[in-house]
Amino acid sequence: MIHRSLSGELHDDPRRSGAASRPRPPSRPRLSRPPPGRPRRRRLAGLVAAAALAALGCGAGASSQPASPATQPAAPMTPAQIAARATPAVVTIRGDGSLGAGFLVREDGWIATNFHVIAGAADLKVILWDQSEHPVLEVLAFDEDRDLAIVRIHARRKLPLLPLGDSGAVRPGDPVVAIGHPLGLADTVSNGLVSAVRVVDPALTLLQISAPIAPGSSGGPLFNERGEVIGVAAAVATQGQNLNFGVPAAYLKKLLVHPDPVPLSTFAAETAEEGTALPPVKRAVPRHALALLRGCTEDDLLVLARTMDGAIQVGSPLYNQGDFASCYHIYEGAALDMERRLGAACKGPKQALAEGRRKAAGLDDNAAQAWAMRDAFDGLLDVILRKVHGDVE
């Protein structure tokens, strides 16, 4: 198992002999400002594409070696029982332009998540089940190729943690439960089956699952029927069909064995995305009162959160590649779709989206138009998060 360390070495699995180290490449310059949304890492996108091809019968299939059956308890847990026990250990991780999930693996504040959730972010907050916020102090270990990371917060008391199960015993057809906090909509639970165990390459296996993974829930835990974590939700591929993937817990266990702590600021500088020169921009994110959401149902808020998050995940990589026009049109199309789908009583968000479109239409530069729409999205996401977190005005 390759573990990349910011101290300048690649550490091989201690159980393998003759592991050689090599210098890491020079650090990449950090962007002076965040692009409109954080794209997923290129490595992750490639792995998901490979796994998706395998799922469609066009690539490497599942392992030919059947997994060893695990000892089964007399009474498996229901999804509701798993959620009731596990939810206090599932957290939200929020950064500048990023949002994801994670879960506690040690009672003194160690949290597992995806690498892409924290990469390049110099300011990260962890929101616990009691809505308390805690800054991420350091990154204890990470594995970019398998999209895993472990961060630490200061724990003033013992925190609830989740047990790690045997992902090597997982078989297609096994039940699976996913828990996450997409866009701050806390404690989203879904269940399904392990569709396949996909061997993407000799160094990586992914769990393909039928349990939906809502956008923004990356880094959340995947459970077997005994309530043990057997994977980390990592990616959703939507080209043609919904394909959900998780990283087996076995890789996470290896990261926990040899932590190599670095300050978050150092990690952020080393992992910031390297991009093409982008035009300067001045943000103008509106600050809405909670009254803007008066008349909106929970379903309306889900439509807003999921549609905006999906548009950002698709549009931001295009923007970062210099395709400003396509990014703008994706954002504009998403705004029109939301205005059409929201309930008649949900007038405030409709007006905010229409105002964003009006402002963008009055600009003569595609990059500025994309930012105008992104500002409108971020303003709505902010007020939704404040409502969900119980803020009062």
Residues that are catalytic? 116, 147, 218
Nearest CA-CA partner of 259 in 112, 126, 93: 112
Cβ-in-10-Å burial (0-12, 13-18, 19+) of 57 comes to exposed
* 80 exposure class (CB count in 10 Å sphere: 0-12, 13-18, 19+): exposed
* Residue 55 Rama label (left phi>0; alpha psi -120 to 50; beta): alpha
**How far is it, in rounded angstroms, from Cα 148 to Cα 183?**
20
* Among 171, 243, 166, residue whose Cα is nearest residue 210: 243
Collapse the DSSP code of 180 into the 3-class scheme (helix H, G, I; strand E, B; otherwise coil) and give the result.
strand
Q: State the Cα–Cα distance between residues 51 and 27, nearest whole angstrom.
A: 30
d(CA 311, CA 330): 6
Phi and psi at residue 57, to the nearest 5°: 85, 15
- Left, alpha or beta for 229 (phi > 0: left; psi -120 to 50: alpha)? beta
**Tokens describing residue 59:** 């690539």
Distances (CA, A) of 207 to 33, 70, 72, 359: 35, 17, 20, 44
- Do 135 and 111 contact (CB within 8 A), yes or no? no
